[in-house]
Each structure stands twice: as C-alpha cells, then as structure tokens.
C-alpha cells in the first residue's frame, strides 16, 4: 500500500460535464479519494454520473437535498459512517498505510447557514475525542466568515459556474457599504438606460454630526460633486491610490511557501487589476460596488440588496452615472435549471474558438439565457441539450439580425450599442452559418440522447476537434 493517501476535493456544481471530467481524472490514477460537493443529481434525489468500476461512491442516507459525496478507491478498505453523516456532510472511514482508520469527510456549508455547522463541529469533536485522524474537504462559499471574509463575493463566470477556460482570470467585487444607507437618494439616469445616480447629500448631513463616522465623512466629502452626487472619477482615484499604497507597502510582491511572486497593477474600466506571473500566470480584477438596499431600487421587483458599479461609458460619458447591477438576482434566475448552464457553457466555448465573435461578451450570452428563462417554464431546461442549444442559437441569430440585445433589467439599454456595424455583421455571418447547419436537422417531436450526438456532429469538424473532451462525453452519455 502507498505510504500516503492522495485526496482530491472538488465542487461539481451539479454539472454533468464536471462529473464526467472527474471520472476521467480518477481513471487516470493518482487519487485514492475524491471529496465531492454538489454532485449531479438525477430524479429521485439520486447522485448520478459518478459510477466507476474502480471506486465506491458514498452518499448520506437522506431524503432532502444530497449535496455531498465521497469516492474511495476499491483498493482500500472503507465504509460510510451514517451516524456522523447528514444532508450536507458525508463521512467515510478509510484504513491508512498503518492499517488505522482515518475519517474523510465531504462537507457543504450553505451560504445562508452558520459556519461551521453544528454537524461539522460534532464531527471534529468526535474525531478529537477518539484521537482519530480527520480530513475534511469543504465548499465553504465565498461569504462565510470562517474564511475571514466580509462582503467580498465572486462575480462573473466563476460565480455562475460558467467558466470554460483554464482559471487564469478572476473577478472579485468588493462591496462598499456606506453608513445611513436608508438616506441615500438613488435617481434613475434618464440619459443612460440601466444607470443610476447616487445622491449622498442627506447622508453627509447626518454623519457630519457622528464622531464614529468622522473618517468616513471626510473621505466621502472628497468623492462627491458640489451637488452631492457620488463621482466615478473621484471614487476610482481614491481606490487607485489605495491599491498603489498597498502594493508599495509589500514591495509589489508576495511570498508563499518559499516562492516569491512579483505583482503589477493597472486600472481599466471599473476594475483594478493585479497581475501575477510567477509561478503561475493569472490576473484578478477587483471591481468596486456601492451596496444599495432594496427599497432604493429603481425597479419594483427588486427584493434584495443590489449594487451600483462605477462603469464608465465611452459613447456617453458621465462622471456621476453608475451601472445598476443585480448579480445575485441573476444567479437566482439561472440556478437549478438543469441544462441551462450546460448549454451556456457550450455557447461560450463556441464563442471562444471563433475569432470573429470576439465582441460577444460573456454577459451578452448570459443575457440571452436570462430573457429565455423569463418566458419558458422550468421544464424547458429538462429537454435534451441539443434542443436547448439550438433554440439559443436561434435567439442569438435573431438578436444579431435586429442589431439589438436589450439589457435584462432595462430593455431601453441595447448591449450591442457599443459594437460597430462591421463587428455585428461579422458575428451575424458566423452565427447564421451555424444555425443553417442546425436547421438541416429534421424536426422531431420526441428527441433522445442519440439525437444529441447527431446535433454535435452537425458542427464543422474544425469546431468539434477543438471542443474539450468532456464536452464530447456530454453528448455521448
């Protein structure tokens, strides 16, 4: 037996594609145990897509949502501990190289629950009392205070679990929560659809008399116009100085595990970007956001806190106009809709391998799905992936023909407005040729998984050859 156990932790985000990729990696060898969160669930609340001839799959014995699983090599002695396992915690005992039992646990910590959970604390206490080794793999969610985070949340493709490239770009929004939030006056920008102006006049009057907010008052006074409106330029200039000072204080480098990574910084659009090139090459976009309460929303349907992003616009510049962002509400719309995210990933991959679709931003694709989700019953996303993808290609083609893609939260804003006519024509030609290929597929009322493979083969060979092998397995299984 090996002198050590090799353990993999992964959140599959209920994805069929990710499940297939996990099995491919396990079959290549190198891992004894996989601690899984949010496995793909089939009808009947049963974990699907993780059957392997070489691994035993353990799940908790529950009737509610199953959000964890543990896979153990059949070369090892193992058994599930049902007494310690719960809805969001699967505990398995495995014999190590010294023939002693070690506890391995896959844990999911809900974003709306206390962290760590009482069940996880009980597991730690039990292993400590028994003097038994314990390894826990967990998805702790970005907002959990167990990680020391405060109002920092991932946004973009990773937050939506829609990234289709290798992880070399990250987006983080840091949310600025101002005192006396109820006194903030939010005004719809009549000249720029989808945007708002933030009046801090009443806030400044109140906190000027509050000694605990003296520093905040002095800072806010320097970031507003004479009319009391929050200024994009003044806010971003202050944040830029904060990033510069912070990097200078650590000599623009960080050291971890004996490896020093030089850091560089740039300011582009609303984001403050830090670049790392050693030992891995990646960048992190830090996007500021002003937190606004639901009662300040310019839309009547907003029931949660929302954000105002200082996103400058080239075609209609304004120093006091902020883009309204409802990221958390968008996540609610697209989650738990079976093939929605799988179809979205495929369309993003299609975009990535066609250079003339460079202007088709990920948020534009996401917007197509938001509009489709708003008019379809949830059962629509249970249809075969080939059908869903075909319908969304038709939506994309239609939007390009009209040269119009309305912002989901304000249809007066055309997201294509900043793309020139040549760019739209190029995209339209590319997408139209693909839709023509899809249209050749016979219209059938009853579609099966075999039809998925046929749709897949209808794509040009150059496209098929560049697809990730796991995407191929999506169509084959």
Per-residue pLDDT at 461: 47
Residues 55 and 169 in one domain: no
Q: How far is CA 5 from CA 37, 68, 103, 201, in A?
A: 19, 20, 12, 61
Show the 3-state SS of 357-376. Answer: HCCCCHHHHHHHHHHHHHHC
3-class secondary-structure state, position 382: helix
pLDDT of residue 205: 96
Work out the angle between the directed axes of helices 16-27 and 340-352 (0-180°, nearest 10): 70
Instruction: Count other Cβ atoms within 10 Å, centred on residue 98.
Output: 9
Do 174 and 269 lie in a common domain? yes
Residue 370 located in a structural domain: yes
What is the rounded distance in angstroms from the CA atom of residue 167 to the CA atom of residue 158? Answer: 9
- Overall pTM > 0.85: no
Q: Does residue 140 sit in the same domain as residue 16?
A: yes
Quickly count: other Cβ atoms within 10 Å of residue 268's Cβ: 8
**CA 396, CA 413: separation in Å to the nearest integer?**
17
pLDDT value of position 345: 80
pLDDT of residue 443: 53
Same domain for 19 and 134: yes
Per-residue pLDDT, 332 = 86
Q: Which residue has the tokens 């954000």?
A: 307
pLDDT tens track of the chain, all 477 residues?
445 788 999 988 888 888 888 888 888 777 899 999 989 888 767 888 898 889 999 988 765 678 899 999 999 999 999 888 887 899 999 987 677 889 999 998 875 555 677 788 889 888 888 888 899 998 765 444 444 444 444 445 545 554 544 557 788 899 999 999 999 999 999 988 889 999 999 999 999 999 999 999 999 999 999 999 999 999 999 999 999 999 999 999 998 878 899 999 999 889 999 999 888 788 999 999 999 999 998 888 888 899 999 988 766 678 999 999 998 888 888 888 888 887 888 888 788 777 788 889 889 999 999 999 999 998 999 887 778 888 899 999 999 999 999 999 988 889 998 888 888 999 999 898 878 767 765 454 555 555 555 555 544 444 444 444 434 443 333
Are 40 and 131 members of one domain?
A: yes
* Structural domains counted in the chain: 3
C-beta atoms surrounding 238 within 10 Å: 14
Residue 416 lies in a domain: yes
* Tokens linked to 183: 């006194």
Helix (H, G, I), strand (E, B) or coil at 471: helix
CA atoms of 410 and 299, how far apart (whole Å): 9
Question: Which pLDDT value is given to residue 477?
Answer: 33
Query: Domain holding 345: CATH number?
Result: 1.10.1410.40
Same domain, 119 and 159: no
The residue among 314, 330, 346 that closes a domain is 330
Report the CATH number that the domain containing residue 185 is assigned in CATH: 3.30.460.90
Residue 1 lies in a domain: no
Q: What does the pLDDT read at residue 349?
A: 77
Backbone phi and psi for residue 304, each to the nearest 5 degrees, phi listed first:
-130, 170
Domain assignment of residue 380, yes or no = yes
Tokens standing for residue 58: 């353990």
Is residue 2, in this structure, part of any structural domain at all? no
C-alpha span between 476 and 341 (Å, rounded): 18
CATH of residue 17: 3.60.10.10
pLDDT at 310: 94
Listed residues 330, 358, 382: the one ending a domain: 330
State the residue range of the domain holding 119.
Answer: 7-147
Does residue 55 sit in the same domain as residue 199? no
Nearest to 316 by CA among 185, 186, 195: 195
Looking at 278, 296, 330, the residue that finishes a domain is: 330
Are 415 and 455 part of one and the same domain? yes
Which pLDDT score, from 0 to 100, does residue 440 have?
Answer: 61
CA pair distance 241, 239, nearest whole angstrom: 5
Answer yes or no: do 15 and 126 share one domain.
Answer: yes
Q: Burial, 28: exposed, middle or buried (Cβ in 10 Å; 0-12, 13-18, 19+)? A: exposed
Distance from C-alpha of 252 to C-alpha of 269, rounded to nearest angstrom? 22
The pLDDT value given to residue 46: 81
> Can you say whether the dihedral through the CA atoms of 129, 131, 136, 140 is positive or negative?
positive
């Amino acid at each position: 037996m090996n002198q050590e156990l090799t353990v993999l932790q992964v959140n599959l985000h209920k994805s069929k594609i990710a499940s297939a990729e996990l099995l491919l990696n396990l079959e290549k060898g190198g891992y004894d145990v996989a601690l899984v969160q949010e496995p793909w669930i089939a009808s009947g609340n049963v974990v699907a897509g993780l059957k392997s001839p070489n691994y035993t799959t353990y799940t908790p014995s529950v009737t509610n949502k199953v959000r964890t699983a543990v896979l153990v090599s059949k070369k090892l002695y193992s058994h599930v501990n049902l007494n310690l396992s719960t809805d969001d915690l699967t505990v398995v005992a495995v014999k190590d190289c010294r023939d002693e039992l070690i506890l391995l646990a896959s844990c999911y910590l809900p974003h709306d629950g206390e962290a760590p959970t009482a069940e996880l604390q009980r597991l730690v206490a039990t292993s400590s009392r028994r003097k038994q080794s314990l390894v826990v793999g967990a998805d702790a969610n970005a907002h959990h205070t167990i990680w020391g985070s405060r109002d920092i949340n991932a946004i973009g493709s990773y937050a939506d679990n829609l990234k289709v490239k290798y992880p070399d770009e990250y987006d983080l929004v840091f949310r600025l929560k101002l005192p006396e939030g109820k006194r903030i006056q939010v005004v719809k920008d009549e000249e720029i659809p989808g945007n708002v102006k933030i009046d801090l006049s009443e806030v400044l009057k109140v906190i000027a008399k509050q000694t605990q907010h003296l520093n905040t008052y002095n800072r806010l006074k320097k970031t507003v116009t004479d009319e009391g409106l929050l200024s994009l330029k003044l806010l971003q200039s202050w944040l830029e100085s904060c990033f510069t000072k912070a990097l200078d204080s650590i000599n623009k480098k960080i050291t971890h595990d004996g490896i020093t990574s030089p850091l560089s910084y740039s300011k582009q659009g609303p984001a403050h970007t830090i670049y790392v090139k050693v030992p891995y090459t990646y960048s992190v976009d830090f996007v500021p956001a002003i937190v606004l309460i639901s009662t300040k929303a310019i839309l009547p349907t907003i029931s949660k806190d929302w954000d105002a992003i200082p996103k400058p616009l080239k075609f209609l510049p304004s120093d006091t106009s902020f883009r309204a962002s409802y990221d958390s509400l968008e996540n609610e719309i697209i989650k738990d809709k079976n093939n929605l995210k799988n179809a979205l990933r495929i369309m993003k991959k299609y975009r990535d391998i066609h250079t003339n679709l460079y202007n088709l931003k990920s948020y534009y694709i996401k917007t197509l799905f938001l509009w489709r989700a708003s008019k379809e019953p949830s059962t629509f996303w249970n249809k075969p992936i080939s059908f869903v993808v075909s319908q969304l290609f038709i939506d994309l083609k239609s939007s390009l023909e009209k040269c119009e893609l309305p912002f989901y939260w304000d249809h007066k804003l055309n997201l294509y407005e900043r793309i020139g006519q040549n760019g739209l024509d190029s995209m339209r030609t590319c997408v139209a040729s693909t839709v023509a290929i899809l249209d050749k597929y016979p219209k059938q009322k009853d579609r099966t998984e075999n039809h998925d493979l046929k749709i897949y083969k209808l794509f040009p060979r150059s496209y098929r050859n560049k697809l990730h092998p796991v995407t191929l397995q999506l169509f084959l299984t």
